[in-house]
Structure 1
Amino acid sequence: MMNYQKYKRFETISLPDRTWPDKHIEKAPIWCSVDLRDGNQALVTPMKIEEKVEMFQTLVDLGFKEIEVGFPSASQIEYDFLRLLIEEHLIPDDVTVQVLTQCREHLIRRTFEALKGLDKAIVHIYNSTSILQRDVVFNKSKEEIKKIATDGCQLVKDLCGEFDGKVILEYSPESFTGTEMDYAVEVCDAVMDVWGATPDNKVIINLPATVEMDTPNVYADQIEYVGRHFKDRNRMILSIHPHNDRGTGVAATELALLAGADRVEGTLFGNGERTGNVDIVTVAMNMFVQGVDPKLDFSHINDVKHVYEKCTKMEVGPRQPYAGQLVFTAFSGSHQDAINKGIHKYRERGSKYWEVPYLPIDPADVNRQYEPIVRINSQSGKGGVAYVMDTIFGYHLPKAMQADFASDVQKISEAEGEVSPERIFDTFNKDYIENEQPLKFVSQKLIDISEDSSNDFEREAIIKLNDHGNIRIIEGYGNGPIDAAKDAFNRNGYPYMHLLDYSEHALTSGSSSKAAAYVCLRAKGTSITEWGVGVHANITTATIKAMISAMNRIYKRLDDSK
C-alpha cells in the first residue's frame, strides 16, 4: 500500500463570501511569456542564441506584448541574448521585455548593465516567502525575509536614476501558495510602499503557484483574499504564475482570473520545471471557444508547434489540447456518426455558432484540416465511413447503404488495422463503381415516345452493354428513364429485379460536372439485395451504370451461394 499518511494538506484560508464562482472570463488578461526563461531553464539542452531569437520572434508574431527574455545576471548566454535583442533592434516598440533577478545586490546591478540601451523594461525581482523555505532553506524570520524584498526593491529604485528608460517593477513572493496569506500581503505592500506605487505608477505583483499545493479553487480563494486585503488594489497589476504539479495549472489559472487576476505568466504548451508551467495556448484557446478574444493568434497552430519542437527539442503530445496530432480525430463509431451528423446540420443551418458534437472548436480555425478528423478502424461504425466518403470524396451515401459499405471496410480494418481514407475510397471504387463483371455498360439512348399513340409509355431506353464478353443491345419501356431502363433488363432475360431504393446528387468533390446515382436492387424470388453506384456526367447514364453495378454484385452473391 502507498503510504498516503506521510502527507498533509496545507492549511487554507476561510473565504465563505467568495465571489469568483459566479463570474465569467470576459476578456483576455495581460499575457507574459516566460518561454525564454522559465521554459528554457527546464530544457535538457537549453536553447542556443539563434533558437532563442527564433522563439522570441514567434512570440512577437503570436501577439505577446510582454516577454521575459531570461536571467541575464546568472548566465552569460542570457546576458548576450538580451544584448543581441537590444543592439540588433529586434524588440518591437509595442513589446516590453522582462528580466528576472533574485533580490541580491550584485545580480540586480548586473541586470541593469544588460538593460542599457532600452527605452523600457520590466525588472522582475523575487525572493521566497513560504513557511517551508523560511525554515529549511534560509533559516530567517518573517522580518528578515521581508527586508530582503524591500532592500531589493530599493536598489532597483536607486539604479533607475542611472537608467535612461522606464522601469516597471515586478515583485514575486516566490512559493506564494505555501505562504501565509496575510504575510504575503504584508511583504507585497511593503515593496509597493518602498517603490512609491500609485495608480499611475503601478507595480506588477506576481503571485506564483511555484508548486501546486491544492485544488484550483484554493488558489482562486488565495487570489481573491489577497486582492481584497492589499492597502490599495489600484496601485498594482495582479499577476499569476501557475505551475502544473497537480496537473491542474490551466484550471487554476482560469479560476484565478475569475478571482481578479489581471495578468498571466506561462509558456507555450506548458513547458517548464517538473510538470511544467501553465500552458498559455490552452488557456487562450479555451477563451476563444467561449467567444472571448484571447488577443493571441494561434490560427496557424501547427507552425507554432513546429517552432516550439525545433527550439526546445520537446514534443507536443498527440492528445495535447488544440495542437496534438489526434485531438481532431475520432475512432469510436458513435462519435464518428455524431460528428458526421453535426457537420451536416451546421452546414445546412448556416449557423453563426459552431455546434458540432465532440468538436468544441472548428479545426479550420487553427488551420487544421477536416480530413484527419475521422480515422477508421475496427471500432468504427457506418457514421465514420460515411463521413469520410462525404467530406473528403463528395459521395453522400444513402443511409441504408452506409451499413452495407461500412461492413466491408470493417472487414479490412480487422485484417489490416487502421484504414486510411484513400484505402476506403479505393475499396468503394472497386466494389461499386468499377464493378464491371459480368456486365459492363457501353452506351445508352433514351427516346421520348410520349406522342406515339400506339403505346402506353413515355420513354424508350436502348442500352448497349458487354454481357460476359459479348455485346448486347436491349430495349425497354416506361414512364420515365429509370422505369424504361429497369424494363429493358427485366424483359431481356436478366434475373428479374425489384428496385428498392434510388437516389442521386451532383458530386461535391472531384469533378463537379459529374453526378452519382445509387440504386438498391433485389433479385426476384430471393432475399438477396445489393447496392450499386454509377458516376457519369449524364444522370440517366449514371443511373443505368448503378443498376449494372448492383446486378453484378447480385450475380456474385448468387454464384457464391451455389
Structure 2
Amino acid sequence: MPSHRYASVFDRVTVPLTDRAWPSRVLTAAPLWVPVDLRDGNQALAEPMDPQRKRRFFELLVAMGYKEIEVGYPSASQTDYDFVRLLASSDLAPDDVTIVVFTAARRDLIERTIDSVRGVRNPVVIHVYTATAPTWRDVVLGRGRAELADLILSAGKDVLELTGDRPDIRLQFSPEVFNLTEPDYVLDVCDAMTALWDATPERPVILNLPATVEVATPNVYADQIEYMHRNLARRDGVILSVHPHNDRGTGVACAELAVLAGAQRVEGCVFGNGERTGNVDIATLALNLHAQGIDPMIDFSDIDEIRRTVEYCNGIEVHPRHPYVGDLVHTAFSGTHQDAIRKGLAEHRTRAEEAGSSPRDEKWLVPYLPIDPADLGRSYDAVIRVNSQSGKGGIAYLLETEFGVELPRRLQIDFARTVQTHADAVGDEVSPADLWALFERTYLSSPVEERLALDHYRMDGSRLTITLREGDDLHVHTTTDEGPVAGLVSALAHAGITLEILALHQTSIGEGSSADALTLLEYRNSRGTTWTAGRADSVLDASFEAVMRAASSSPTEVCPRLDSNQRPAL
C-alpha cells in the first residue's frame, strides 16, 4: 500500500486550540435536525428521485417530526425547482416546517433559487455555499484567498438584494470543505458574512461547517468546531451547524463530538445516504440519544415503515446490520448472547410484575440490547434466531415464545445437540417452524410399540386400574398407594419392562383452553438416560403417552431402581 503518497491532515490544517473543553462535556439535549435527503441524498443517487418519490419522502420527514427540511437544489434541477413550486402552491408543508433551498454562490443561480420560493408560505432558508479549502481554491476555482472572499461577499450581497426585506427568509452560508480550510481564513470569511447579513439573536444566520470529505479523526473536527464556536464575532447571532460526511466511517462520531464542541444544528440523511460513502446518519444520531435517555424529538416508533419508505425512494436497501434499523440489528444467533438476552427479558418482566407496572415503564437493562426493540415498533419475535452457532437458551426461547413450550434445562441441553447437528447439515438458519418439526421428530414421533399397549385405565378415587395389552393377552394392574404415572410404571414392571422416571415436566402447546398438554419425560433404562414426550388433550393422557413411548424403547430386562429419595414426585 503506497501510504507515503498521502499527507497527514496536520500537514494541511493546524487548529490553534490547546485548552479544548469538549472532552469533558456530555450530551444533554437533541440538536436541531435538518434532513438533506431531498437535496444532498438525492444528488447521490444513480437515479434521482422522481416527483412522486420526492413527495413521499418529504411526507415521511414531516410525519417523523422534522421542522426544517432541505428540499432541493432548484437552480441545478428542473425536478427540484418544480418540487419547490409544488410546496408554494399546496399545503404539503405544515406551517411550522421551514423549507431550505440550496445554491452555489453565483448570481444567476441565486436568482433562480429565490424565484423558486416565490409564494412559499412557510419560513424559508436560502443556503449559499462555496468551497474554501486550498486544493479547491487552486484546482477547482482558480482563485486566491482574497479573490474568493470577494466572490463570497458578492454572493451574500446578491442574496440580500434579491430577497429584499422578506422577514420569512433566513440566510445560511456553508464554506464547503470547511475541515480542510485554514482556521483563520474560514473564520474571517464567516465573520464577514454575518456582518454583511447583520446576524442578531432575533434573526440569526446559520453558519454550516461541513466535513465535506472526512480526512481526520473525529477529535480534530471537534477542535475545529470549538475554535469557531469560541471565536466567531457574532456568536449569539449565529446558529452553528455541521454537515459531516462519512469517508472514514466516523461521520456519526464527528457529529456527536461537534455537538459537544458547540454545534447546535446537524445536517444529514436518514440512514446516511449521500455522495461517496454517505452523509452522517441522523437516524443513528437520534437513536443514540434515545439510548442515553435523551428525547431525540423525532418519532422512530415505526422504524420498519420508515425503512421501507426510504428504500423505495432511494432505491437502496438498508444493510441488515445497520444500527437500529437493519433486519438483524436486534438479532442474536450466538448461544452466549441468546442466553443473556433470554434471562434479561425474563428478569425485566419479573421486575415489572413485582412493581405492578407495565414492562414498557420499567428501566431497560437487558444484555446486548441497548434499547427495547418495541420502542421502534418491533416485536421480540426476531430477537433470537437459531443457526449452528446457537445454544440451548435460544432454542428454548423460540419454542417458548412461538409455541408456549417450556423446556427444562437438561432437555434444552439434549435437544440443542440435535439442533446443532441439523443446522450443521443444512448450513442455514433454523426457523421456529423447523425447530418444532425437529422437536416432534425427536421426541414425539417414535412409535409406541404394539407389543405392549395401554389398553385402558380407570381411576376410582385413589384406586387406579391399568390394563395393558400384549397381543391377545391383557395385564391388569391395580394400585392405591401410587400416583398415576408411578402406577403405570409399576404395571409395566409387572409386564417385564422396567424403567426409571427421572424427571417429569408439564407444559402446553399454545395457549387457551384448546391448547394440548405436553409431558416431557426424562427416564433411564439399562441402555442409559434419555428424554421423550407425550401429547394429548389432557395432562394425564399426555403423561401416559410419554411413559408408553419410553417403555417402547426399553428392553425387557431389569434396570437398577433409584432409592426412594431420588425419585421424582409423580
Task: Name structure 1 gaps, 5 residues minimum.
Answer: 450-459
Question: How many angstroms apart in 1 are the aligned matches of 2:393 and 2:514?
Answer: 24
Residue 327 of structure 1: CA displacement?
A: 1.5
Please list, as runs of the form range in 1=range in 2, the aligned pairs for 1:424-503 lying within 5 A after superposition: 424-438=435-449, 444-449=457-462, 460-463=463-466, 474-494=477-497, 496-503=498-505
1:249-295 per-residue CA deviation (whole Å, 9 max, x = no partner) reads 11111111111211110112111100010111111111111111111
Question: How many angstroms apart in 1 are the aligned matches of 2:422 and 2:538?
Answer: 33
Question: How many angstroms apart in 2 are the aligned matches of 1:146 and 1:261?
Answer: 24
DSSP-derived class of the 1:373 partner: coil
Residue 194 of structure 1: CA displacement?
A: 0.7
1:44-88 per-residue CA deviation (whole Å, 9 max, x = no partner) reads 001101111111111111111111111111211111111112212
Partner residue in 2 for 1:417: 427
Q: 1:470 to 1:356 in 2, by over 3 A?
A: farther
Q: 1:466 to 1:23 in 2, by over 3 A?
A: farther
1:472-530 per-residue CA deviation (whole Å, 9 max, x = no partner) reads 76544434344334333333432x1212122334556576755433221111xx25112
Q: 1:138 to 1:465 in 2, by over 3 A?
A: farther
What's the % identity of the aligned pairs? 45
Question: How many angstroms apart in 2 are the aligned matches of 1:323 and 1:441?
Answer: 55
Question: How many angstroms apart in 2 are the aligned matches of 1:469 and 1:151?
Answer: 109
Question: Residue 239 of structure 1 contacts residue 262 of structure 1 at CA under 8 Å; is this kept in 2?
Answer: yes
Question: Residue 31 of structure 1 contacts residue 66 of structure 1 at CA under 8 Å; is this kept in 2?
Answer: yes
Partner residue in 1 for 2:371: 361
Partner residue in 2 for 1:271: 273
Matched to 1:432, the amino acid is Y
DSSP-derived class of the 2:502 partner: strand
Which stretch of structure 1 is more off in the superposition, 279-288 or 379-388?
379-388
Question: How many angstroms apart in 1 are the aligned matches of 2:367 and 2:184?
Answer: 46
Partner residue in 2 for 1:173: 175
Please list, as runs of the form range in 1=range in 2, the aligned pairs for 1:85-234 lying within 5 A after superposition: 85-119=87-121, 120-161=123-164, 163=166, 166-234=168-236
Question: How many angstroms apart in 1 are the aligned matches of 2:348 and 2:188?
Answer: 54
1:150-189 per-residue CA deviation (whole Å, 9 max, x = no partner) reads 22222222222275x6101111111000011222221111
Which stretch of structure 1 is more off in the superposition, 171-180 or 13-22?
13-22
Answer yes or no: is 1:384 the counterpart of 2:383. Answer: no
Matched to 2:289, the amino acid is M
Partner residue in 1 for 2:546: 546
Q: How many residues align?
A: 542
DSSP-derived class of the 1:137 partner: helix
Question: Residue 475 of structure 2 contacts residue 495 of structure 2 at CA under 8 Å; is this kept in 1?
Answer: no
Please list, as runs of the form range in 1=range in 2, the aligned pairs for 1:304-383 lying within 5 A after superposition: 304-350=306-352, 352-383=362-393
Q: 1:162 to 1:521 in 2, by over 3 A?
A: same
Question: Residue 16 of structure 2 contacts residue 227 of structure 2 at CA under 8 Å; is this kept in 1?
Answer: no
Partner residue in 1 for 2:9: 10
Question: How many angstroms apart in 1 are the aligned matches of 2:518 and 2:480?
Answer: 23
Residue 240 of structure 1: CA displacement?
A: 0.6
Question: Residue 506 of structure 1 contacts residue 512 of structure 1 at CA under 8 Å; is this kept in 2?
Answer: no
Question: Residue 462 of structure 1 contacts residue 473 of structure 1 at CA under 8 Å; is this kept in 2?
Answer: yes
Question: How many angstroms apart in 2 are the aligned matches of 1:471 and 1:205?
Answer: 95
Question: Residue 530 of structure 1 contacts residue 554 of structure 1 at CA under 8 Å; is this kept in 2?
Answer: no
Q: 1:463 to 1:431 in 2, by over 3 A?
A: farther
Question: Residue 432 of structure 1 contacts residue 549 of structure 1 at CA under 8 Å; is this kept in 2?
Answer: no
Which stretch of structure 1 is more off in the superposition, 436-445 or 262-271?
436-445
DSSP-derived class of the 2:126 partner: strand
Matched to 1:265, the amino acid is E
1:78-105 per-residue CA deviation (whole Å, 9 max, x = no partner) reads 1111111221221111111100011111
Residue 368 of structure 1: CA displacement?
A: 2.5
Matched to 1:431, the amino acid is T
Question: Residue 499 of structure 2 contacts residue 554 of structure 2 at CA under 8 Å; is this kept in 1?
Answer: no
DSSP-derived class of the 1:112 partner: helix
Partner residue in 2 for 1:67: 69
Question: Residue 70 of structure 1 contacts residue 100 of structure 1 at CA under 8 Å; is this kept in 2?
Answer: yes
Task: Name structure 2 gaps, 5 residues minimum.
Answer: 353-358, 559-570
Partner residue in 2 for 1:457: none
Question: How many angstroms apart in 2 are the aligned matches of 1:117 and 1:426?
Answer: 65
Residue 387 of structure 1: CA displacement?
A: 1.7
DSSP-derived class of the 1:422 partner: helix
Which stretch of structure 1 is more off in the superposition, 125-134 or 146-155?
146-155
Matched to 1:430, the amino acid is R
Question: Residue 437 of structure 1 contacts residue 468 of structure 1 at CA under 8 Å; is this kept in 2?
Answer: no
Question: Residue 444 of structure 1 contacts residue 541 of structure 1 at CA under 8 Å; is this kept in 2?
Answer: no
Superposition TM-score, scaled by structure 1 size: 0.90
Matched to 2:314, the amino acid is T
1:178-226 per-residue CA deviation (whole Å, 9 max, x = no partner) reads 0112222211111111111111111111110001010111111111111
DSSP-derived class of the 1:101 partner: strand
DSSP-derived class of the 2:9 partner: coil
Partner residue in 2 for 1:406: 416
Matched to 1:335, the amino acid is H
Question: Residue 461 of structure 1 contacts residue 485 of structure 1 at CA under 8 Å; is this kept in 2?
Answer: no
1:8-40 per-residue CA deviation (whole Å, 9 max, x = no partner) reads 111242533222222222111111110000000
Partner residue in 2 for 1:395: 405
Which stretch of structure 1 is more off in the superposition, 15-24 or 418-427?
15-24
Question: Residue 448 of structure 2 contacts residue 548 of structure 2 at CA under 8 Å; is this kept in 1?
Answer: no
Question: Residue 532 of structure 1 contacts residue 548 of structure 1 at CA under 8 Å; is this kept in 2?
Answer: no
Matched to 1:185, the amino acid is L
DSSP-derived class of the 2:208 partner: strand
Question: Residue 531 of structure 1 contacts residue 549 of structure 1 at CA under 8 Å; is this kept in 2?
Answer: no
DSSP-derived class of the 2:368 partner: coil
Question: How many angstroms apart in 2 are the aligned matches of 1:550 and 1:191?
Answer: 87
Question: Residue 530 of structure 1 contacts residue 553 of structure 1 at CA under 8 Å; is this kept in 2?
Answer: no
Question: How many angstroms apart in 2 are the aligned matches of 1:444 and 1:359?
Answer: 51
Question: Residue 519 of structure 1 contacts residue 547 of structure 1 at CA under 8 Å; is this kept in 2?
Answer: yes
Superposition TM-score, scaled by structure 2 size: 0.89
DSSP-derived class of the 2:223 partner: helix
Question: How many angstroms apart in 2 are the aligned matches of 1:168 and 1:417?
Answer: 59
Matched to 2:130, the amino acid is N
Question: How many angstroms apart in 2 are the aligned matches of 1:385 and 1:225?
Answer: 54
Partner residue in 1 for 2:566: none
1:435-472 per-residue CA deviation (whole Å, 9 max, x = no partner) reads 442267676544333xxxxxxxxxx3344677689987
Partner residue in 2 for 1:454: none
Question: Residue 340 of structure 1 contacts residue 387 of structure 1 at CA under 8 Å; is this kept in 2?
Answer: yes
Partner residue in 2 for 1:530: 530
Residue 143 of structure 1: CA displacement?
A: 2.2
Question: Residue 478 of structure 1 contacts residue 487 of structure 1 at CA under 8 Å; is this kept in 2?
Answer: no
Q: 1:473 to 1:513 in 2, by over 3 A?
A: farther
Question: How many angstroms apart in 2 are the aligned matches of 1:86 and 1:254?
Answer: 35
Question: How many angstroms apart in 1 are the aligned matches of 2:335 and 2:147?
Answer: 63
Question: How many angstroms apart in 2 are the aligned matches of 1:321 and 1:442?
Answer: 60
1:117-160 per-residue CA deviation (whole Å, 9 max, x = no partner) reads 11320110111111221222223232222222222222222222
Question: How many angstroms apart in 2 are the aligned matches of 1:331 and 1:303?
Answer: 25
CA RMSD of aligned residues (A): 2.5
DSSP-derived class of the 2:249 partner: coil
Residue 536 of structure 1: CA displacement?
A: 4.4
Residue 311 of structure 1: CA displacement?
A: 1.3
Question: Residue 477 of structure 1 contacts residue 488 of structure 1 at CA under 8 Å; is this kept in 2?
Answer: no
